[in-house]
Amino acid sequence: MTHAPLSFRPATAADIPAMSVIRLAVKENTLSNPGRITTQMYLDHLAGLGRSWVCEQEGRIIGFSSAAQADGSIWALFVDPACEGLGAGKVLLRLATDWLFGLGHARVQLGTGTDTRADRFYLAQGWTRGALNEDGGEVVYTLDRPAARAS
SS3 44: helix
Sorted by sequence, the CB contacts under 8 Å of residue 54 that are 6+ apart come out as 8, 9, 10, 11, 15, 18, 19, 61, 63, 64
Report if residue 137 sits inside a domain.
Answer: no
39 within some domain: yes
Q: Give the pLDDT of residue 1.
A: 52
CA 81, 64, 49, 147 torsion: positive or negative? positive
Domain holding 17, by residue range, is 6-105
Q: Which stretches of the chain score pLDDT less than 70?
A: 1-2, 26-36, 134-136, 148-151
pLDDT at 34: 57
Residue 88 lies in a domain: yes
150 lies in a domain? no
Q: How far separated are the first and last CA of the chain, in Å rounded?
A: 41
The total number of structural domains in the chain stands at 1
Model confidence over 121-132: pLDDT tens digits?
Answer: 999 999 999 888
Q: Is residue 16 part of a domain?
A: yes
Q: Is residue 68 part of a domain?
A: yes
User: Which CATH number goes with the domain that contains 34?
Assistant: 3.40.630.30
Q: Burial, 6: exposed, middle or buried (Cβ in 10 Å; 0-12, 13-18, 19+)?
A: middle
Determine if the pTM surpasses 0.95: no
Quick check: is 143 in a domain? no
Rounded Cα distance between 130 and 5, Å, is: 35
